[in-house]
Structure 1
Amino acid sequence: MVLFSLTATHADLNLETVARLSKGASAVAAGNVHPPVLPPASGGMAQAAVEPLQSLNGAVVLSTCNRFEVYAEAVTDHGIDAAREELLAGIAAQSGLDRGTVDQALTVRRGSDVARHLFAVGAGLDSAVVGEREIAGQVRRALINAQETGTASPGLVRLFQAASRTAKDVGTRTALGSRGLSIVSVALELATDLSETRDWPSARVVLFGTGAYAGATMALLRERGCTDVSVFSGSGRATDFVTARGGTALDGDSLSSAIAQADVLIGCSGSDRQVSAAELAEVRGEDPKPLVVIDLALSRDFDPAVDELDGVELLTLESVRLAAPEETAESLAEATRIVDGAAHDFEAERRSRSVDTAIVALRKHTMSVLDAEMERVRARHGCTAAAEEVEFALRRMVKQLLHTPMVRGRELAAAGLQEQYVNAIEALYGIDVVEPAAPAVAADNCPVDHRARDLTA
């Protein structure tokens, strides 16, 4: 298992570039994994065949409102550079960005840094709002999506499962979990501050989108007593969304009227079409009421120029990042210790697993040779006492012969040389060391809705 990652986040890039990189994110993994994409685990329709990369065993894409990350497993350690180059070419093709821009935008991590970064991301330590709740569910959903499309290798399954466990540990063992902060909650607090007299129970809200952030937004609006929520989705999923969560579904004919009466507009769809300042001004009329526009979509649901309209206050992901409260040094230090310890344990387990798999393969190979030889002995002499004594002696000898390679393998793994050990086993004995399959991941009772694959769909 040779892991590496390509990451781009709000901390290093403007959100427009992150949004461009995220375009066609699922196709990046589906078209670049060897062997070719498998049928979905859910039994649905398989994806069309795509020419796969020969240098990748698997890939998982994590695409959220402020990050685009690809976690991949290369076939060999020497194949990482080739896999990276072909992945970058695929991202450039899907995003429409030139190859040089993509190369500069994405940070490459290898080895233990891969787990350390993903665990920090899942625990909310790398978020615009430190300790946010949604990201742990997004990490879990990224793995489920990859499994459904057949791009999640066993090594990546174990990596993402460990990230989910680490996120739970941080949530239960530090104050970060008790804060209940999220991008959505901070945005709603900002909206409240813009109008000190805002009364959420009487507010009229129009919500754009039906993805994970829309689900989280609806839940938090309910907590604040807001019941007048209308939902619009360009993809036509508004009716199903409100059936499950309440609210009123809008279509193209009823949208304008709802906007004209709204106190708050919240964008979570990330569609290709933005609401322009001119469109919003026309809908609001000549004597418009005060309006707060919260744009949480990575690719922006509203033209930034709406902020220039009279009576309109625009809040964006950048506004949320700047307004997010700072966590105490004690909570961050404890969370960091948990993440560092989990990453260290994962790396140690990864090394041990690769050696254990090689040892099992060597043992099976040796025992098969022994069994074949004993079959010849029995065929010649029958099941006699002498034959049993020969078999007992041979099996004891084989165990003694395997003892040193097993001990040496674990010593090499502890020194980070497990790859050389596996290569030596394969070269000397002519056997293939294949990692066992990892168990599938099932969705749990995460408070965030993850049924839509695009977090801002």
Structure 2
Amino acid sequence: MVLFSLVATHADIDLETVARLSVGSSAVSNSAVVLATCNRFEIYSAAEDPQLAKDRFVAELATVSGLPAPLVDSAFKLLTGSAVAEHLFSVASGLDSAVVGEREIAGQVRRALSDAQTNFAVPGPLVRLFQTASRAAKDVGSQTALGSQGRSIVSVALDLAADSSALDWAARKAVVYGTGAYAGVTVALLHERGVTDVTVFSASGRAAEFAAARGAHAAESLAEALGDADLVIGCSGSDHRIAAAELGTIRERSGVSGSPLSVIDLALSRDFDPAVAELPGVELLTLETVRLAAPSEQESALRQAQVIVSQAAADFELSIAARSVDTAIVALRKHTMAVLDAEMERVRAQHGCTAAAEEVEFALRRMVKQLLHGPTVRAKELAAAGQQGEYIAALQALYGIEIEAMEPQIPAAVESAESATQPTCPVDHDQSA
């Protein structure tokens, strides 16, 4: 099985297409780990033939999203081999984000694996890929300046809103539209900046519980929420897009038509119609706005982070290569030990379990383990060089061992083959006495 990923991001396609692709998450979530954020839609899986697997995913997504299959196909880059780990580790560390070094993406990567594990039995190599990505993200956060800068899409968006308003944060009346992960981050950042008047609205009905846990107020209707707000952050991603006419009517009825209002739309599928920017006093900030305004990070910090990511990816590839020969090593040891066990059974059947026989058996087992040490070390070396196939072919040619097509055993399983309980003596000494 080969690890592969299908990658569609803000760097290659428009966000509208990313949003349309994300609609198809449910169609592939039972067989792959799906990473869907405001800037990307990525699929991670394992298959004998990644290209055939891509064709299947493309057909499923085209059906669900309504996009033409050729467009879906061209939207994705197919990554295999070391490129998969290199890319995911960069993503988890915030190096591939619109806001370099953003904090939210690491949590989204962890949740992608967790969600997948509730839907299907995620293959071990895929689990290890995402777990290692999370560790790489932690290392980047703790060992480089990117972690201390604490950038995020939300924080950059709030900075832009602050630049366009004369109001202090403490005087602002903010509305958060949605109750997802970005909504939680948004409420926290508003509180950090001194905003005390924060109202939450969600068409899902979860606003009351969400707001109570975060020191905010909950609104029962959109009109109540928007009222006299001067800052609105949309991060619901719901099916309902607020139209310009709807927002204009709410503002007129509240008596604030024409007064300054900053609308930040962070939803990939857009919570606000772009036409709201034409309303008097309304400024609309979108993900594209944030991406273009995102600050560039210090070159030295980026270089340091990229070194950490590249090393983590290289180490992961070595571990995968080493695991790929574990099954062969176990097969060789089982084969060799089976020959030894058969010979010892013959000796015991003829001579019984004498002290001399036990000493001979102990010596032979120690010798076999010593003889196996060299082939075991060589297997790891060849795997690291990408030549594990040659090693497996040699075992099959020399010993006639058939290596089962299965996921490589973890190292502990290799050790357990060495320390297995010794075979009991087949001779019934009580009857022969």
TM-score scaled by structure 1?
A: 0.83
Query: Which of residues 294, 297, 316 is equivalent to 2:264?
Result: 294
Aligned-pair distance for 1:319? 0.6
Residue pair 1:22, 1:68 contacting (<8 A) in 2 also: yes
Structure 2 Cα separation of the partners of residues 438 and 303 of structure 1:
55
Post-superposition Cα deviations, 1:31-52, rounded to whole Å, max 9, x if no partner, equal xx3xxxxxxxxxxxxxxxxxxx
Residues 316-365 of structure 1: per-residue CA shift (max 9 Å, x gap): 00010111111111111111111111111111121112223431343134
Q: Is the 8 A contact 1:28 1:94 kept in 2?
A: no
- Which residue in 1 is equivalent to 2:243? 276
Which residue type is aligned with residue 14 of structure 1?
Answer: D
Q: Are 1:127 and 2:100 an aligned pair?
A: no
Cα offset, 1:386, TM superposition: 4.9
Structure 2 residue corresponding to 1:256, chosen from 220, 223, 240: 223
Q: 1:417 aligns with which of 365, 371, 387?
A: 387
Code of the residue aligned with 1:387 in structure 2: it is A
- Residue 390 of structure 1 deviates from its aligned partner by 4.8
Which residue does the alignment assign to 1:5? 5
In structure 2, C-alpha distance between the alignment counterparts of 1:420 and 1:106, rounded to whole Å: 33
1:18-33 alignment, distance < 5 Å: 18-30=18-30, 33=31
Structure 1 distance, partners of 2:154, 2:411, is: 34
Residue 333 (structure 2) pairs with residue 363 (structure 1): yes
**CA drift at 1:431:** 4.0
Partner of 1:221: 190
Instruction: Tell me, yes or no, if the aligned pair for 2:235 and 2:266 is still in contact at 8 Å.
Output: yes
Distance 1:173 1:386 in 2: 60
Q: Which has the higher helix share?
A: 2
Q: CA deviation at 1:425?
A: 4.8
C-alpha deviation, 1:391, in angstroms: 2.6
The answer to whether residue 38 in structure 2 is matched with residue 15 in structure 1 is no
The match for 1:73 is: 46
The number of aligned residues is 406
- Alpha-carbon distance in structure 2 between the residues aligned to 1:222 and 1:292: 17
Q: CA deviation at 1:90?
A: 2.2
- For the pair 1:310 / 2:283, whether they are aligned, the reply is no
After TM superposition, the structure 1 stretch with the greater mean CA deviation from structure 2, 327-336 or 365-374, is 365-374
% same residue = 64
Partner of 1:50: none
Unaligned regions of 5+ residues in structure 1, if any? 34-58, 440-457
Give the whole-Å Cα distance in 2 for the aligned partners of 1:313 and 1:113: 41
Q: 2-side partners of 1:398 and 1:353: how far apart? A: 22
Unaligned runs of at least 5 residues, structure 2: 413-433
Q: Secondary structure at the match of 1:314?
A: strand
Report the TM-score, using the length of structure 2 for normalisation. Answer: 0.88
* Equivalent position of 1:43 in the other structure: none
Structure 1 position 198 matched with structure 2 position 167: yes
Larger Rg: 2
- Asked if the contact 2:3–2:45 (Cα under 8 Å) also holds between the matched residues in 1, the reply is yes
In the TM superposition, residue 423 of structure 1 has moved relative to its aligned partner by: 6.2
Deviation of the 1:108 alpha carbon: 0.7
**1:62–1:69 Cα contact (<8 Å) kept:** yes
Shift in CA distance, 245/404, structure 1 to aligned 2, threshold 3 Å: same
Structure 1 pair 70–420 and aligned structure 2 pair: CA distance change class (3 A)? farther
More off after superposition, 317-326 vs 258-267 = 258-267
Q: Which moved more, 1:215-224 or 1:284-293?
A: 284-293
Q: Which deviates the most, 254-263 or 208-217?
A: 254-263
Q: CA RMSD in A?
A: 2.2
Alignment match, 2:402: 430
Question: What is the Cα deviation at residue 399 of structure 1?
Answer: 3.3
**Match runs of 1:176-195 below 5 Å:** 176-195=146-165
Task: Kindly provide the amino acid, as one letter, of the partner of residue 292 in structure 1.
Answer: S
**Which deviations, in whole Å up to 9, do the C-alpha atoms of 1:416-437 show, x marking residues without a partner?**
1224534665784124253347
Aligned match of 2:177 in 208, 212, 233? 208
Q: 1:266 to 1:423 in 2, by over 3 A?
A: farther
Higher relative contact order (CA 8 A, sep 6+): 1
SS at match of 1:242: helix
CA distance in 2, matches of 1:368, 1:96: 58
Query: What amino acid is the match of 1:28?
Result: V
Over 3 Å counting, the alpha-carbon distance change for 1:135 and 1:283 in structure 2 is same
